[in-house]
Amino acid sequence: MIGIFDSGVGGLTVVKEVKKKLPGYDLLYFGDTARVPYGNKSDILIKQYALEDARFLIEHGAKLIIVACNTASAVALDYLRSNISIPIFGVIEPALQAALEITKNGRVGVIGTRATVNSGAFQKCLLTLQGSDMSLELHDVQKPAFMRKRAKQNHNTIKKTKLFFEPAPLLVPLIEENYLARPETARILKHYLQPLKASQIDTLILGCTHYPIIQSLVETKLKQVKVINSAERVAQELKDFLTQNQSVDRSLSKRRQERFFVSDLTPHLAGIAKQFLGQRINLQPVEL
């Protein structure tokens, strides 16, 4: 069973992409809606929550885990990998990998929560690439995806790549309130994107799993910029991994079963979940 967790229901955009890439695989989702958002919590608390989320998924049958939360991926991914033995995927590494493949001028923008932007996770991934020995062969499933793939990269592009960040704390509540077509949302988004546009980025990473919901709106604001959907990229990363690791693939059940758990259930939540996944689902409340 593929386990996926997020601080809320934004990670359902990852579920949606995994279902596209790997139809038929059993999926287990946990949204920590009682403690959302993670973006304004301390690093210590984010690590604690992420470990509890991961252990919940393992107890319910997960054989590998996607951390479908940019904040948890940024702050807690290494911590999880050091405490849990099964393969764990974050959403930051595949998104950065995609950006490095796409960028022409080496100027890559990132929008996300303050915790994601301030974590230094993207910078750490990039510095690892820039200082890596391109001849190394790494097969450890716990190694970051970008380290396993780096031989495919143009090393000159990697060396010259610069990252430009913009925290966008108001986008998540606007998306969850379904304010997608409101003029105030367009104005706020323009405000966040303007500094990145001025930095002449040619590639933008959507550094939050909520943001694919407004991807088309972002693309209208940045017409000449390639936009990276981290949910889509981590789903492709998982598919590639399973193709190359048949023993792990055989351990995953494929009965088209899906279970969705949340730590707090409200009437409003079902509507948001449908918006993110594109279908009605049965959300089951649980206590960690």
Residues catalogued as catalytic: 69, 208
Query: Do residues 91 and 149 make contact, with C-beta atoms less than 8 angstroms apart?
Result: no
Q: Which two tokens stand for residue 245?
A: 């690791």
Taking CA 36 as the corner, what is the angle to CA 218 and CA 88, rounded to the nearest 5 degrees?
A: 80
Beta bridge partners of 112: 167, 207
> How distant is the alpha carbon of residue 134 from its chain centre?
26
Rounded CA-CA distance 108/188 in Å is: 21
Strand order through the sheet with 27-31? 88-90, 64-67, 2-6, 27-31, 258-262, 283-285
Six token digits for residue 123: 């910078």
Residue of 18, 45, 15 lying closest to 260 (CA atoms): 15
